[in-house]
């Protein structure tokens, strides 16, 4: 047991506080954008006529529906996720330290260490997404309680449940009973956790892995895909294939494979 703790401890000392800091900043900024998005403000939108010319029209900013998308909070979350993945990938790469020598001195096989580090990264990703879910849900809940009684909008627990189902980004963070979204989320965690460890594993051997770039792009795209579309299924299959390929290389394949 002690040898496993020492293996995971190497990564914990290297990136835990940085990832938690990124998580905190991302969640607070995203929640602030949602909470402070103006209510009942006149907004100008555009549609295109048959000739392709933009035609302006005015509408009132919503109380809850669509606020997450309009506030640009998902973009902040995507940037935060990219930063977390970057820190994870660079952990153990050996920049400025004899990391390869340190890894080889660990008690236990390096393949076992890579699996343990992947599990640790998976836990950090779950913490990151849980923090975003709680913050965005809380920001919407506070907005709901600020709606004027004479607005004609009735706020209730059912209002929050409806937003969780209809908002694409929030639904990926809080899938409720949607098994398809659960599957995409699980595939995202597995692929990202394994690929970040694989990147540093290849780097220590003088190689380079492009898997994490493909995984990060697929995960971000999955969170922005419309609900019920075929693209969610395609991205889930891609993520599972990438995770399976990395796991095969990590456990039983060639350590220098992509």
Under 8 Å between Cβ of 132 and 215: no
Q: What is the pLDDT of residues 77-117, one digit of tens each?
A: 999 999 999 999 988 776 544 455 555 555 457 778 888 88
Quick check: is 257 in a domain?
Answer: no
Any domain includes 258: no
Distances (CA, A) of 66 to 14, 37, 97, 135: 38, 11, 47, 16
Prediction pTM value = 0.82
Span 14-42, average pLDDT: 89
Of 4-18, 61-75, 77-91, 94-108, the range with the highest mean pLDDT is 77-91
Domain boundaries, position 218: 2-251
Strand partners, 44: 58
pLDDT attached to residue 207 = 72
Instruction: Report residue 69 as tokens.
Output: 């998308």
* Residue 156 domain flag: yes
Question: Is residue 101 domain-resident?
Answer: yes
Query: Does residue 204 fall inside a structural domain?
Result: yes
Whether residue 217 is contained in a domain is answered as: yes
More reliable by pLDDT, 209 or 196: 196
pLDDT tens-digit readout, 160-195: 888 888 888 999 999 988 888 999 999 999 999 999
Per-residue pLDDT at 257: 42
Share of the chain above pLDDT 90, in %: 36
Alpha carbons 152 and 234: distance in angstroms, whole number:
41
Q: What's the pLDDT score for residue 216?
A: 93
Q: What tokens does 32 get?
A: 């602030």
pLDDT confidence of residue 258: 39
Number of domains in the chain: 1
pLDDT for res 256: 43
What does the CA dihedral 106, 110, 116, 121 come to, rounded to 10 degrees?
100
* pLDDT score recorded for residue 196: 93
Q: What is the pLDDT of residue 51?
A: 74
Give the model's pLDDT for residue 97: 47
What CA–CA distance (Å, rounded) separates 131 from 136? 9
Domain-located, residue 172:
yes
Cβ atoms of residues 200 and 93 within 8 Å = yes
Residue 104 lies in a domain: yes
């Amino acid at each position: 047991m002690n040898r496993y703790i020492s293996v995971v401890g190497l990564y914990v000392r290297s990136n835990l506080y940085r990832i938690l800091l990124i998580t905190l900043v991302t969640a607070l900024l995203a929640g602030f954008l949602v909470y402070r998005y103006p209510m009942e403000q006149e907004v100008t939108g555009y549609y295109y006529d048959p000739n392709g010319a933009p035609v302006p029209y005015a509408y009132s900013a919503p109380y809850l529906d669509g606020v997450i998308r309009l506030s640009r909070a998902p973009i902040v979350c995507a940037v935060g996720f990219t930063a977390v993945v970057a820190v994870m990938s660079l952990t153990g790469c050996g920049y400025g330290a004899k990391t390869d020598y340190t890894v080889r001195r660990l008690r236990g096989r390096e393949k076992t260490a890579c699996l343990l580090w992947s599990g640790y990264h998976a836990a950090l990703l779950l913490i990151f997404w849980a923090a975003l879910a709680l913050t965005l849900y809380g920001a919407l809940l506070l907005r709901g309680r600020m709606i004027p009684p004479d607005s004609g909008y009735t706020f209730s627990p059912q209002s929050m449940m409806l937003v969780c189902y209809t908002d694409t980004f929030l639904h990926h963070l809080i899938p409720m009973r949607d098994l398809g979204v659960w599957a995409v989320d699980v595939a995202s965690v597995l692929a990202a956790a394994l690929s970040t460890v694989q990147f540093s594993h290849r780097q220590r051997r003088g190689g380079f892995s492009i898997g994490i770039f493909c995984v990060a792009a697929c995960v971000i795209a999955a969170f922005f895909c419309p609900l019920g579309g075929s693209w969610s299924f395609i991205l889930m299959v891609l993520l599972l294939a990438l995770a399976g390929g990395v796991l095969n290389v990590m456990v039983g394949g060639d350590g220098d494979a992509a």
